[in-house]
Amino acid sequence: MSDSTGDDASLYQRLRGVFGIAAVVDHFSDALIQNPIVGQDSENPALRQWHRESLDRLPGLKFQRTLWVCQASGGPFKFSPTKPGAKELGLEEAHREFQISPEEFDEVAAELGRSLDHFKVPKREKDEVLAAFAAHKDEVTEGYRAAHAGNIPAGAGRR
């Protein structure tokens, strides 16, 4: 999937721009629905409900995810969140109500890795995409930590 551009090319360029990114996001988003840990059969009731009852929002979510990756990878598109976070690419507000556990976040990251592998994204680019995603783990899991404050040790998963 990676472009043959030089070492000085941005991650966005090396991922083949918006079209390459959109292909990965499309595959990734569809795979999440079927994922037993974070999809329609998740033990997390909020994730399960979203994947069963809100799929009419999936095309817009794919668009938003594509914009997010484009901006995070140095592309020319600007992510405009429906629920802005504290930082420019902040994700805490959009994810708080889902109470996503650290374990669930890690499974979403693994699913993203599998989608990058599906498109044969080279290791360097895959690692950079996953690092950009991992940088937001605390934001995405903020709702879980707040809901379970005092009940779990920091960094523990749902199980």
* Fold that domain 11-147 belongs to in CATH: Globin-like (1.10.490)
pLDDT tens column, 18-60:
999 999 999 999 999 999 999 999 999 999 999 999 999 999 9
Is pLDDT at 159 greater than 90 in this prediction? no
Q: What is the pTM of this model?
A: 0.87
Sorted by where each begins, the domain ranges of the chain are 11-147
Q: Is 68 left (phi over 0), alpha (psi -120 to 50) or beta?
A: alpha
**Model pLDDT, residue 157:** 46
Query: C-alpha 132: how far from its chain's center?
Result: 9
How high does pLDDT run on average in the chain?
A: 90
Tally of residues, the chain = 159
Is pLDDT at 155 greater than 90 in this prediction? no
Q: How far apart are CA 6 and CA 88, in angstroms?
A: 28
**Model pLDDT, residue 3:** 47
Lowest mean pLDDT among 40-44, 91-95, 108-112: 91-95
| C-beta separation of 126 from 116 below 8 A | yes
Q: Which residue has the higher pLDDT, 84 or 95?
A: 95
pLDDT tens column, 98-107:
999 999 999 9
